[in-house]
Amino acid sequence: SSDVIHDSCDKAAKGDPNIKFDFCVSSFEGNPKAKTATGVADLVKVAIETAMANATSIGSIISKLLDNKTLDTYARHCLEDCSELYSDAGSSIQSGGKAFEGKDYGTANAEISSAMDAPDTCEEQFKEKKGIVSPLTKENNNFFQLLAIVLSFMDLVPK
């Protein structure tokens, strides 16, 4: 199973410059479901679950950041938008997961791809106003990479 993870991550990293091999491997090696994966299709399911959990986690981080009463109005607005973006991304990932389970690969791909807008749009909002640094850069980058891994793994599944 470690071979399935390493082989799949190797192919994903070689096929997409957004995917770092070490990040990919570390995203799955600690996951018991990934360790029992017998093929890339099993890893897609684990990757979707991981991305879903990550979207939820980022939503919690945003909520904590919004608790800060001294937050600049513009930053608050950005975070509120990011919260909505991640909520929508979670729904898209869920739909994509269901489509993948039903072997509707086109819909799965479209749903996961649409979720990739969340981290980019979230990050860009902070850049629009000079002097405001996104407190979510690391989370946005990791989430984007997780979704890139999902898409890459889906491409590796024999159709």
What structural domains does the chain harbor? Answer: 1-156 (1.20.140.40)
Residue 23 predicted with pLDDT over 90: yes
Specify the pLDDT at position 2. Answer: 64
49-76 per-position pLDDT tens digit: 999 999 999 999 999 999 999 998 999 9
Residue 1 predicted with pLDDT over 60: no
The amino acid at 131: G
Cβ(63)–Cβ(36) below 8 Å: no
**Residue 30: pLDDT band with limits 50, 70, 90:** confident
Specify the pLDDT at position 131. Answer: 72
Specify the pLDDT at position 4. Answer: 93
Cβ(154)–Cβ(112) below 8 Å: yes
* DSSP summary character for residue 153: H
Q: Which of 32, 3, 39, 132 is nearest to 79 (CA)?
A: 132
89-147 per-position pLDDT tens digit: 999 999 999 999 999 999 999 999 999 999 999 999 998 877 788 999 999 999 999 99
**Residue 6: pLDDT band with limits 50, 70, 90:** very high
Q: Which of 83, 82, 86 is nearest to 128 (CA)?
A: 82
Chain position carrying tokens 């991640």:
86
How far apart (Å, rounded) are the C-alpha atoms in residues 103 and 125?
A: 35
